[in-house]
């Protein structure tokens, strides 16, 4: 087990893992949740990686490449927003395992079907379906792990899930480099179905099982808006995650354009920039979780990573790095800076009671992902008035400021007992 060591302040606990901690940490629900998020990220980012190749094969001209790509991305994002609410409610009403089984089945079959499309409209429908399926994986996995593990090592478990999962982006890049885009979809779907077999041995959260036996309202999404206090608590959980998707959705997605504007010596490849960012993100997620356990605070570490992100955004946009090697290195460092993704979802899960926990932990990351639909038009507006680099700098400043405001009055949840309900 883990023994708390009390120092000057008895409220502050430093946690020193003993060898038996690893046995608790590497239990079946944690391992399967990590592998599930790995496949989830693979399938989530695969379209972005194979977009040009797949649309060319479907007969889309170079002139229509951007508009058709945005159309498909918006369909996938719409699926994530719809699925985030549906899976979140289902996770609290039927159980965390229902979501883990249902979501991976849907997105695995949808991604296999993506390999057979013959038109853009077919592609769009299947990206919508895949998005719905992909929306449930992270929230349900983090919720299950948070409830299964002892509170003393909860941060280690959720960080492990995210850091392993985010490496799915690296696999997606290399698979897309080695195989035709249709085969890349088949491989992703096959990995999901293989994981589905592994999930047979996963057990449900004991905390949820007890609540299920009680006559209490579960998965009531509208309850999050029932009072000003509830609404702002929920809103803060969303706001602190915005910089993650500013980096991924703006700085990495448009990295070729930024590379050109910043006079980088060779053209930047977006897929490679995303890969390096996600490598940094995986390392950052593991580091932020370990640091939060050592310091005994979620908020302090989140504040530290937000400051680091602000500094690295400034370096990315305004420090003259003309070498592609240096550019990709900064992409990786930026990934590390926003490597509080698992910490952010864990905080959301810990803020709310068992009867709303899956709803919150599933909707919050998907609403953050969906924020790109607001960021993109703002970015284009700022770019037209200030230029590409300064426009991105202004949007980055806004998202970082909003995240700090969200963190400001947020409750500290480190070591919080999760066996409680929202009345």
- Domain extents for the chain? 18-203, 221-412
Strand-pairing partners, residue 4, are 15
Residue-by-residue DSSP string for 296-332: T-HHHHHHHHHHHHHHHHHHHHHS----HHHHHHHHH
Can you give the pLDDT at residue 65? 80
What span, in angstroms and rounded, lies between the C-alpha atoms of 71 and 51? 11
Beta pairing class for 13-16 and 3-6? antiparallel
Can you give the pLDDT at residue 11? 42
Can you give the pLDDT at residue 101? 85
Can you give the pLDDT at residue 342? 86
DSSP designation for 419: -
What backbone torsions phi and psi does residue 27 show, to the nearest 5 degrees?
-95, 165
Can you give the pLDDT at residue 183? 96
Can you give the pLDDT at residue 13? 44
DSSP designation for 238: H
Tell me whether domains 18-203 and 221-412 share a fold.
yes
What span, in angstroms and rounded, lies between the C-alpha atoms of 195 and 22? 22
Homologous superfamily (CATH) of 221-412 is MFS general substrate transporter like domains (1.20.1250.20)
Q: What is the pLDDT of residues 152-200, one digit of tens each?
A: 888 888 888 888 888 898 899 899 989 999 999 999 999 999 988 877 6
Q: What is the pLDDT of residues 53-84, one digit of tens each?
A: 899 999 998 888 877 887 888 888 889 999 99
Which pair of tokens denotes residue 1? 């087990």
Query: Comparing C-alpha atoms, which of 202, 203, 183 is closest to residue 191?
Result: 183
Residue 350 · residue 204 · CB < 8 Å: no
- Residue ranges, the chain, pLDDT below 50: 1-16, 19
Strand-pairing partners, residue 6, are 13
Which pair of tokens denotes residue 167? 């490496």
Can you give the pLDDT at residue 360? 93
What span, in angstroms and rounded, lies between the C-alpha atoms of 303 and 48? 30
Fold adopted by 18-203: Growth Hormone; Chain: A; (1.20.1250)
Can you give the pLDDT at residue 116? 96
DSSP designation for 266: S
Can you give the pLDDT at residue 391? 95
Can you give the pLDDT at residue 10? 40
Dihedral of the CA atoms 136, 227, 398, 81 (nearest 10)?
20
């Amino acid at each position: 087990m883990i023994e708390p060591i009390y120092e000057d302040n008895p409220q502050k606990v430093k946690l020193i893992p003993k060898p038996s901690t690893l046995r608790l940490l590497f239990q079946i629900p944690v391992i399967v949740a990590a592998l599930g998020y790995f496949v989830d990220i693979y399938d989530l980012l695969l379209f972005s990686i194979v977009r040009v190749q797949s649309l060319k094969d479907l007969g889309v001209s170079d002139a229509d490449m951007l508009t058709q790509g945005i159309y498909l991305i918006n369909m996938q994002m719409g699926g994530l927003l719809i699925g985030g609410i549906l899976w979140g409610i289902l996770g609290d009403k039927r159980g965390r395992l229902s979501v883990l089984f249902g979501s991976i089945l849907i997105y695995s079959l949808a991604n296999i079907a993506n390999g057979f499309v013959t038109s853009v409209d077919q592609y769009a429908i299947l990206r919508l379906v895949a998005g719905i399926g992909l929306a449930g994986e992270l929230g349900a996995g983090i919720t299950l792990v948070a409830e299964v593990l002892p509170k003393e090592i909860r941060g280690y478990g959720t960080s492990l899930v995210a850091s392993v999962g985010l490496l799915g982006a690296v696999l997606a890049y290399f698979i897309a480099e080695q195989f035709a885009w249709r085969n890349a979809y088949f491989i992703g779907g096959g990995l999901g179905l293989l994981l589905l077999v592994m999930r047979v041995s996963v057990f449900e959260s004991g905390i949820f099982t007890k609540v299920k036996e009680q006559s209490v309202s579960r998965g009531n999404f509208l309850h999050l808006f029932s009072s000003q206090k509830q609404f702002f608590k929920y809103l803060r959980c969303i706001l602190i995650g915005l910089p993650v998707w500013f980096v991924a959705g703006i700085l990495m997605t448009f990295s070729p354009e930024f590379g050109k504007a910043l006079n980088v010596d060779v053209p930047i490849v977006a897929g490679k920039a995303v890969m390096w960012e996600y490598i940094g993100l995986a390392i950052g997620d593991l580091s932020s979780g370990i640091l939060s356990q050592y310091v005994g605070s979620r908020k302090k570490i989140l504040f530290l990573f937000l400051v680091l992100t602000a500094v690295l955004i400034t370096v990315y946009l305004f420090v003259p790095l003309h070498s592609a090697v240096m550019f990709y290195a900064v992409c990786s460092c930026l990934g590390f800076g926003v490597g509080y993704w698992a910490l952010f979802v864990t905080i959301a899960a810990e803020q709310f009671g068992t009867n709303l926990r899956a709803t919150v932990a599933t909707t919050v990351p998907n609403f953050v992902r969906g924020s790109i639909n607001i960021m993109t038009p703002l970015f284009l507006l700022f770019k037209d008035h200030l230029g590409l680099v300064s426009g991105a700098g202004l949007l980055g400043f806004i998202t970082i400021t909003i995240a700090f405001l969200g963190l400001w009055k947020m409750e500290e949840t480190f070591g919080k007992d999760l066996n409680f309900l929202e009345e």
